[in-house]
Amino acid sequence: MNSKIKVSVVGGSGYTGVELLRLLIGHPNVIIHEITSRNDAGKLVSEIYPSLRGCLPHYFVDPDKADLKKADLVFFATPNGIAMNYVTDLLENGVKVIDLAADFRIQDVAIWEKWYEMKHSAVKELKSAVYGLPELNREAIKQAQLVANPGCYPTAIQLALIPLIKSNLINTETIIADAKSGISGAGKKTETQFLMSEASENFKAYSLKGHRHLPEIEENLKSISSNNKIKLTFVPHLLPMVRGIHATLYVDCIKDFDPSVIFNDFYKDELFVDVMESGSCPETKSVRGSNVCRLSFYKIPETNRLVILSVIDNLVKGAAGQALQNMNIMMGWPESAGLDLIPLYP
Ligand SMILES: NC(=O)c1ccc[n+]([C@@H]2O[C@H](COP(=O)([O-])OP(=O)(O)OC[C@H]3O[C@@H](n4cnc5c(N)ncnc54)[C@H](OP(=O)(O)O)[C@@H]3O)[C@@H](O)[C@H]2O)c1
């Protein structure tokens, strides 16, 4: 626990990058080495992000000028299709990599290339990548050199479904995932739909015909389902708030069981999943700024329908916090190191 490692953040000027910096500054075993940005190269990080004033002496460096191999571990908080161009060199030099984008989340290359509309440039490395959902893959993450940090919707949705699918308790072909995200889920963009006058006091669905997180969820849940079949109706929505994901799952039970027993038993040793009372309603505000997923459920009387509610902070358990959790597991450190965060309220 006393040894420190050097970590670098590629894409340190985006929303998940800055959230990573906030968390890494408080981590007892980490020295931040380099932080990249093309647009802000040469500028003091804390000048661009005053929330970090007094905490970080670093200047942004251009990713092409960064000496990433000098780090022990590199986080990629970049758009899809960037990390895959760096990993071969980094892995060959013994550097561990955690990608917050989707480059290594889907093992089926053809499906990945179809949904991400580009050629995968690191297929060999993809085969060795571990999907970084600790509650599902902790043992494999311990051995991994390359971790694919899950997407934010997939984290909220899968944590709500995994205990039920693993125990073969629900029909896996009729699952409905009705999910909503705060605007920071889209990153630091200047698109019209994310302007305050467009997004505030507004609420809408998007990607009705298919969201890129769908194949990620389906591939992972298939791997744990007894019949290898998952059919999910997934509709994402944009919420007029900055942080938070709220996923409501509707599933059909195929056996009689007490969901409270199933969820509490499955998550009894998990630090970052809070199973609430049946019928309670978790709020996004109750997890804001923390690495916690809060779950609850309600069995609709006289039907076989179970509703599960799952909330996370998209930038923490949905991105940077989960990435730190994965780093802690890869390094053999306590899983909560740097993540002892009480949610912000109000
Ligand atoms: N936002 C969320 O809630 C969330 C949750 C889970 C996962 N993710 C995933 O995490 C990744 C980052 O998301 P974000 O929301 O932080 O995005 P963002 O706010 O748009 O930030 C992107 C970062 O990547 C850098 N970048 C862009 N193009 C690059 C390139 N070609 N080479 C190197 N750096 C480049 C940007 O800085 P420069 O352009 O200045 O270099 C910036 O620092 C995405 O893949 C996203 O899907 C996001």
The answer, as to whether pTM is greater than 0.85, is yes
pLDDT tens, position by position, 278-331: 999 999 999 999 999 999 999 999 999 999 999 999 999 999 999 999 999 999
Rounded CA separation 181/317 (Å) = 13
Q: Could you tell me the distance, in angstroms and rounded to a whole number, from the CA of residue 255 to the centre of ligand 1?
A: 43
- Please say if 152 is a catalytic residue: yes
Q: Could you tell me the distance, in angstroms and rounded to a whole number, from the CA of residue 306 to the centre of ligand 1?
A: 36
Q: What is the pLDDT of residue 46?
A: 97
Q: Could you tell me the distance, in angstroms and rounded to a whole number, from the CA of residue 37 to the centre of ligand 1?
A: 10
Pocket test of ligand 1: the residue of 20, 38, 43 to mutate, having most ligand atoms within 8 Å of its CB, is 38
Q: What is the pLDDT of residue 243?
A: 97
C-alpha separations of 166 from 21, 75, 162, 268, 274 in Å: 35, 30, 6, 15, 19
Q: What is the pLDDT of residue 3?
A: 82
DSSP state of 110: H
Q: What is the pLDDT of residue 327?
A: 98
Q: What is the pLDDT of residue 2?
A: 56
Rounded CA separation 193/187 (Å) = 13
Domains of the chain by start residue, with CATH? 5-150 (3.40.50.720), 153-316 (3.30.360.10)
Parallel, antiparallel, or unpaired: how do β-strands 96-99 and 146-148 relate?
parallel
Q: Could you tell me the distance, in angstroms and rounded to a whole number, from the CA of residue 148 to the centre of ligand 1?
A: 15
Per the CB < 8 A criterion, the answer to whether 252 and 196 are in contact is no
Q: Which residues' Cβ are closer than 6 Å to ligand 1?
A: 10-17, 37-40, 63, 77-80, 82, 100-101, 151-152, 184-185, 187-188, 314-315, 318-319
How does pLDDT run along the chain (346 residues), one tens digit per residue? 558 999 999 999 999 999 999 999 999 999 999 999 999 999 999 999 999 999 999 999 999 999 999 999 999 999 999 999 999 999 999 999 999 999 999 999 999 999 999 999 999 999 999 999 999 999 999 999 999 999 999 999 999 999 999 999 999 999 999 999 999 999 998 899 899 999 999 999 999 999 999 999 999 999 999 999 999 999 999 999 999 999 999 999 999 999 999 999 999 999 999 999 999 999 999 999 999 999 999 999 999 999 999 999 999 999 999 999 999 999 999 999 999 999 999 9
CB atoms within 10 A of CB 285: 16
Which position among 152, 253, 281, 293 bears the catalytic label?
A: 152
Rounded to a whole number of angstroms, the CA Rg of the chain reads 20
Rounded CA separation 260/265 (Å) = 8
